[in-house]
Structure 1
Amino acid sequence: MNEIKILWIDDEIELLKPHILFLEKKNYKVHTCQSGTEAVEEVKVTNFDIVFLDENMPGLTGLETLTEIKALKPTLPVVMITKSEEENIMEEAIGSKIADYLIKPVNPNQILLSLKKNLDNSRLVSEKTTSSYQQEFRKIAMDLTMVNTYEEWAELYKKLIYWEIELENIEDTGMTEILESQKTEANTQFGKFIEKNYENWFREDNGPVMSHTLFKDLISKEVNKKTPTLLVVIDNLRFDQWKAFEGTVTNYYKKVKEVPYYSILPTATQYARNAIFSGLMPSEMARLHPKLWKNDTDEGGKNLHEADFLTAQIRRLGLDIKWEYHKISNLRAGKQLAQNFRSQKENDLTVLVYNFVDMLSHSKTEMEVVKELAANDKAYRSLTQSWFKNSPLIEIVQQAQQLGFKLIITTDHGTINVKSPSKVIGDRDTSLNLRYKTGKSLSYNEKEVYGVKNPKEIHLPSINMSSSFIFAKEDLFFAYPNNYNHYVSYYKNTYQHGGISLEEIIIPFVVLNPR
């Protein structure tokens, strides 16, 4: 251990000699001062690791000394030691960002514990986290050989996310690499599970809550005339991204329900989000609402009629509610809604579609600077968290809480960082998405995709009589043989959606009440 320098400030420092000797035996280097003025001068010339500061001193008081030390060295941990338990002194010290607070008389073990907590915290947390994950690793590995239901897959995925976020703050990169290999194995097995079970969920009506049943089964149950509800659909939001900014939301809201639900295939906005708002699978949308539905090869925007779809669904469900729909695709629109949000108080349901995360994943493909900022899942989570904290959406959430809104946060599908190309050949009418393809005469590697010859089997429309669908599994993305190397280089390590992975399919539905 490198020598740790402690500055201990107390006007009765001689009485603390036993404590100082105890620390020196533990290889800590202790410097002492008997006044705040003397301590401030010491801090100017010496790089201390931590300061113990008596609150009640003549001359410069403990709180005044604290202020001056923090002005010189804002990140230097200061532990306040005091005889007083007065609330206002504690609050002032805590407001000045003290590292710890001890009440006299202190014993040597209290001092040692405070040192470990403030100086050795990252190592201790790292060791404990590593040890806990090593134990959990065996259980996850065993679960992977046995998991066989959609409920078990959702729980396993949430467990992997939990450990991914826990491990991202420790120094042992080896553990993160082991977790990554478990995620890869999990996605391989999950692809097989979806291929085997997806069609049966529609035939036997025994599947999970999915995009087309989300409104009927979950959202409509939360809406009533007593409490206004704000439904926020953040496009392209993965479960781990929700976890990244959950803490910011729970400053204003208490979580009462968190349900993983399943996106339909393709895990793409055109299909999954239209399914949420219509309450129908794509083939039914195409049949019942031909003027509202657009196939991949049709001209124009594919998500321009969500409000119309929702109108039809609310009428079909017989819901007597007052509601409004808003779509936010840029900063200006977000600010405008934030400024006028109070007017939504009269609605039973306010639906807000927020497009930022989708734009982020697309811009990662197109812009080098975003590729640098979101180079991996950890960075992608961090970028999402930063956006949320500084976006008009957090202002809207704050206002919703003040106005007594129930809050629902969900999404239409997730996204995955693609690493490996899979060759595909199709005609010029083949869809362009990198994680799924639809068209006729598709040629592909059958081991790398879930192929559906008859789209009606999974309630998808056919562009023509011989159209089929293929979905990429694991972290694959489709690439054409023409200009192959350039194409692969351009799209490798970008975030894509439309295919089959835990990240794309298992997504959050969260209900929160105002604090």
Structure 2
Amino acid sequence: MTTIEILWVDDEINHLKPHILFLEKKNYKVTPCTNGADALDLIEEQNFDIIFLDENMPGLSGLETLSEIKNRNATIPVIMITKSEEEYLMEEAIGSKIADYLIKPVNPSQILLSLKKNLDHSRLVNERATINYQQEFRQIALDLASVNSYDTWIDLYKKLIHWELELENVDNPGLLEILRDQKQEANSVFFKFIKKNYQDWFYEMDAPVLSHQLFSKVILPEIEKQKTLVLVVDNLRYDQYFMIEKNIQNHYKKLSETPFFSILPTATHYARNAIFSGMTPLEMSKHHKEFWKNENDEGGKNTHEEDFLKSQLKRLRKELSFSYHKIVNQKTGRELLQNFNQIKHNDFNVVVYNFVDILSHAKTDTKVIKELAANDKAFRSLTETWFLNSTMLELIQKAQKENIQLIITTDHGTINCNKHTQVIGTKSIASNLRYKTGRSLTYQEKDVYAVHNPNSIFLPQEHLNSSFIFAKENLFFVYPNNQNHYTHYYKDTYQHGGVSLEEMIIPCVTFTPKN
């Protein structure tokens, strides 16, 4: 066991011998020092794990010594010990990044507690997280064996995300592997649940909120209460949302959270158009032929979201002022911020942010992004870094100052695909890697949710014999010709359009501005 090296700096160090003996019995090694100048020499000669520093010493004061210590080694934790409780001293010490402070006279238990808090904190947190997950493991397994409703699936998925975030910094690869296996099993069971229940959700009262119902059931009631900024972050998974939520809460307080289900295919063309139109893809293809485009139609398939939203408001007989903006780069984001005063008086403003979607697609085509977003943990971290430096955060801050309510949601999630399944079809079938639609599709039955009558799940049917297939879990489709090349090219890339917890269960969260 490695001995912890402590430097204790106090001009009355002889009075602290009982404390030093107490610590040495606990297997700590203490180097005593009576002044700041000698302390600075010692830290040049030796490596200390932590420093106890008296605030009131002749010669170099405690604060002066602290400043010099931090100049030499900014990472070493320093615990300030002081007789004074004057506020300015504490502010100055804390501003200099002390790890902790104690008020004299200190007792051995206080010293020991401070040591454990600062040196053993990470280990204790890791041990507690490990123990808690081990206790929870059996309950998750039992839940997986009995889950039979959409709301219990939401709870279970969020529980798995919680443990993924808790354990990602724990130095226990075996435990993380167990959790990944549980997520894989959960997606396998979820796939069977969707195959059995998805079609019924369009006809039953006891069903989750789906994409085409989100605006009328969740967003509109909030808009009618207060001026609202609605942010739609394309392709935002629940775990990525949690990474940005903690930063949003610096400016806003969470009022409500409504997890909902993306419709199939979990792709922008279908899911986001459904949110803005308030219609299923089948209904859009019938009632908005001027806006809707089928798979093989030329042109952008999400260029009429504002038109869809206008039409939905008209159909709902709601006369509300609003603006619509799509942010695809820093330039368009800056332009929106500059024009914010012109739109802030609207009943609501909708802003679509495409960065996360762009990032997920870039992982397929760009080697640098493949390295930066090598796994879900890295992908989450990139999402948080983007958000902290984005115009989206600046827009949220502006809205908060204007006392504007905030809603954050998405159209679908994404999943890291690392296994392939073969599909055969004509050249006209959809190019998406997670779903296919067309005639004469040949596929592995066990790997897909096949819908031979697309109208039954409210999807348009381009041709009489057209069907849809959706890949399960983390699979992606490849064709037999040049299969090895495409398997290697698309392995470990983020895709969407299929059936998985990550793609289908997504957040819609309402916040109220903090004063």
> TM-score range, shorter-chain basis?
over 0.9
- Tell me the equivalent position of 2:69: 69
* In structure 2, distance between residues paired with 1:270 and 1:400: 29
- Tell me the equivalent position of 1:446: 445
Which aligned runs of 4 or more in structure 1 are off by greater than 4 angstroms? none
Most deviating of 140-149 and 245-254: 245-254
* In structure 1, distance between residues paired with 2:339 and 2:33: 57
| 1:346 partner SS | coil
* In structure 2, distance between residues paired with 1:400 and 1:89: 37
- Tell me the equivalent position of 2:431: 432
| 1:463 partner SS | coil
* In structure 2, distance between residues paired with 1:118 and 1:47: 17
| 2:214 partner SS | helix
* In structure 2, distance between residues paired with 1:355 and 1:39: 54
Kindly indicate whether residue 20 of structure 2 is the aligned counterpart of residue 20 of structure 1: yes
| 2:198 partner SS | helix
| 2:299 partner SS | coil
Kindly indicate whether residue 493 of structure 2 is the aligned counterpart of residue 484 of structure 1: no
- Tell me the equivalent position of 1:236: 235
Give the CA deviation at 1:85.
2.0
Most deviating of 238-247 and 330-339: 330-339
Give the CA deviation at 1:126.
1.1
- Tell me the equivalent position of 1:177: 177
Query: Deviation per CA, 1:50-76, whole angstroms, max 9, x where unpaired?
Result: 111112222322222211111111111
Give the CA deviation at 1:342.
3.1
- Tell me the equivalent position of 2:98: 98
| Alignment length (residue pairs) | 514
Contact 1:422 1:445 survives alignment (8 Å) = yes
Contact 1:238 1:507 survives alignment (8 Å) = yes
* In structure 1, distance between residues paired with 2:344 and 2:286: 36
Query: Deviation per CA, 1:48-106, whole angstroms, max 9, x where unpaired?
Result: 11111112222322222211111111111011111222222222222221111212221
- Tell me the equivalent position of 1:459: 458
Query: What does residue range 414-429 of structure 1 map to in structure 2 within 5 Å?
Result: 414-429=413-428
Q: Give the root-mean-square deviation of aligned CA atoms.
A: 1.1
* In structure 1, distance between residues paired with 2:133 and 2:116: 22
Query: Deviation per CA, 1:326-383, whole angstroms, max 9, x where unpaired?
Result: 0001121112222332333211101000000000000000011111111111111111
Q: TM-score, normalised by structure 1?
A: 0.98
* In structure 1, distance between residues paired with 2:13 and 2:400: 51
Most deviating of 399-408 and 484-493: 399-408
Contact 1:9 1:33 survives alignment (8 Å) = yes
- Tell me the equivalent position of 1:375: 374
Contact 1:440 1:466 survives alignment (8 Å) = yes
| 1:461 partner SS | coil
Query: What does residue range 59-208 of structure 1 map to in structure 2 within 5 Å?
Result: 59-208=59-208
* In structure 1, distance between residues paired with 2:118 and 2:366: 40
| 1:451 partner SS | strand
- Tell me the equivalent position of 2:56: 56
Contact 1:338 1:393 survives alignment (8 Å) = no
Most deviating of 35-44 and 322-331: 35-44
Query: Deviation per CA, 1:28-53, whole angstroms, max 9, x where unpaired?
Result: 11112222222222222221111111
Give the CA deviation at 1:464.
1.1
Matching residue's letter, 1:29: K
Give the CA deviation at 1:315.
1.5
Most deviating of 144-153 and 120-129: 120-129
* In structure 2, distance between residues paired with 1:190 and 1:341: 42
| 2:279 partner SS | coil
- Tell me the equivalent position of 1:411: 410
* In structure 2, distance between residues paired with 1:338 and 1:28: 56
Contact 1:236 1:412 survives alignment (8 Å) = yes
Q: Which runs of 5+ in 1 are unaligned?
A: none
Give the CA deviation at 1:171.
0.3
| 1:133 partner SS | helix
* In structure 2, distance between residues paired with 1:83 and 1:345: 53
* In structure 1, distance between residues paired with 2:86 and 2:443: 73
Query: Deviation per CA, 1:277-322, whole angstroms, max 9, x where unpaired?
Result: 0000000001010010011111010000000000011111222321
* In structure 1, distance between residues paired with 2:65 and 2:347: 54
Give the CA deviation at 1:431.
0.4
Contact 1:258 1:511 survives alignment (8 Å) = yes
Give the CA deviation at 1:390.
1.1
Query: Deviation per CA, 1:187-208, whole angstroms, max 9, x where unpaired?
Result: 0000000000001011223310
Kindly indicate whether residue 210 of structure 2 is the aligned counterpart of residue 210 of structure 1: yes
Contact 1:342 1:399 survives alignment (8 Å) = no
Most deviating of 285-294 and 80-89: 80-89
* In structure 2, distance between residues paired with 1:133 and 1:181: 14
Distance 1:94 1:289, change over 3 A: same
Q: TM-score, normalised by structure 2?
A: 0.98
Matching residue's letter, 1:27: N
Give the CA deviation at 1:163.
0.1
Distance 1:87 1:317, change over 3 A: farther
Matching residue's letter, 1:231: V
* In structure 2, distance between residues paired with 1:95 and 1:320: 52
* In structure 1, distance between residues paired with 2:240 and 2:333: 20
- Tell me the equivalent position of 2:317: 318
Query: Deviation per CA, 1:242-262, whole angstroms, max 9, x where unpaired?
Result: 111211111111111122110
- Tell me the equivalent position of 1:290: 289
* In structure 2, distance between residues paired with 1:108 and 1:136: 37
* In structure 1, distance between residues paired with 2:80 and 2:319: 59
Matching residue's letter, 1:304: T
Matching residue's letter, 2:31: H
